[in-house]
Every structure is written in C-alpha cells, then in structure tokens.
Structure 1
Amino acid sequence: MESSVRTTTLPCGEAIPVLGQGTWKMGEDSRRRSDEVNALKLGLDLGVTLIDTAEMYAGGGAEEVVAKAIAGRRAEVFLVSKVLPSNASRAGVQRACENSLKRLATDR
C-alpha cells in the first residue's frame, strides 16, 4: 500500500512522515495491549511510520507495546522516545536510552 502521508527530509537526507503515532496512555492496562499493538500496526500499514513514545508512559509499558507493534518491521519505522527530566544528565540520558532500547527491542 502506498502511503499518502506527507514527509519531511531530515538534514541527514532521510525522509520521515510529518504525522506520527503517539503512545501516551498505552501500556497502562494489559487487557488493552492487543488492541494497542494492532492500532499501531494499522497506522504502520497506512504509512504513518513515525512512532512517538517515552520512558515515562506507563513506566516504559508504552515502549513495550511499540516493540510488539514493530516486530519484524523495524526498518520501516522512525522511533522517537523521550527521557524523564530526572534523567537529564550525560549519564542519565545514556542509561535512559539504553533502557528504552531494551524495552523497544531494538538496537537503534
């Protein structure tokens, strides 16, 4: 399926969608996990390949939902995640990123 989502080009030359999928409130209720994963997958199918999440959303649970949604499709997804203000130091950001990568089940 061809995407109709407009893109913008980053300075590195990579094109990313100008519209992304948010994950706030995802990962808070395990009974909704399947629906949340399927919603993200549908967005990917429709060409919304930018997913925004954060370590603070459901204590990392939203990142775990994203991991399930992008399994086998990582190459087509542009991930954005944020760190808590309490992790806003050189060591804190590095540790937060490493933990997010683990929850997202990716190396980048």
Structure 2
Amino acid sequence: MKTARLLDGSRVPVLGQGTWTMGEKNSAHASEVAALRLGIDLGMTLIDTAEMYGDGAAEKVVGDAINGQRDRVFIVTKAYPHNASRTELPKACERSLRRLR
C-alpha cells in the first residue's frame, strides 16, 4: 500500500475506506464492521466518515470496527456545514469522538 508521510513522520495510506452508506441499516451493522476490519487487516488503515453519514451512525460503525486497534488507524471525519462555525465545530468534534468511542 502506498503511503504519504506526515510532518510528524507518521505514514498514512493514500487509499482509504469510505463509509458513506454505512450505519443506515441495523441489519448490515455486523457485515459493515467486518468489512472495515478486513480493510484494516489489508493495510487500508485510513477511514473516511462524517457526522452526516447516517446522521452519525456511520461513525458508530467505525467506532465498533476500530475497537481494540485504534492505534492502527487514521480517521478522517467531517462536520455538517451548519456545524462549521467557530462555536459549533468543537461541539461537533466532541459528538463525533463520542460516536467513534
């Protein structure tokens, strides 16, 4: 897997896993967690998610998938545009962190 080097020396995969439709169906939760874990095992340790994906449910799926291996992954998440203000963005980040556990 090709990687990019960050300023702190960390190496991040240039290819990641997306979670756009994850968390929308409870019946798919186990298979979504399994898919993310398989990707991590295959070296796809960059996971892209957002609070708007499944209204936060995708972040919960990611949280379950990375449980026990948080030090192996890089998470990219995004906030709703209405949460992008100086006062709301920190709150949105805290909510995302809670969902990602």
Q: 1:71 aligns with which of 45, 49, 67?
A: 67
Distance in 2, matches of 1:42 and 1:34, equals 12
Distance in 2, matches of 1:38 and 1:101, equals 21
TM-score by length of 2: 0.98
Matching residue of 2:42: 46
Q: Is residue 2:97 matched to residue 1:98?
A: no
Shift of 1:49: 0.3
Distance in 1, matches of 2:9 and 2:92, equals 27
Q: 1:10 aligns with which of 6, 10, 13?
A: 6
Distance in 2, matches of 1:15 and 1:92, equals 30
Aligned length: 101
Equivalent position amino acid for 1:21 in 2 = Q
Structure 2 unmatched runs, 5+: none
Equivalent position amino acid for 1:39 in 2 = A
TM-score by length of 1: 0.92
Distance in 1, matches of 2:68 and 2:7, equals 27
Q: Identity of paired residues, percent?
A: 56
SS in 2 for 1:102: helix
Equivalent position amino acid for 2:79 in 1 = V
Q: Is residue 2:17 matched to residue 1:31?
A: no
Distance in 2, matches of 1:71 and 1:13, equals 24
Structure 1 unmatched runs, 5+: none
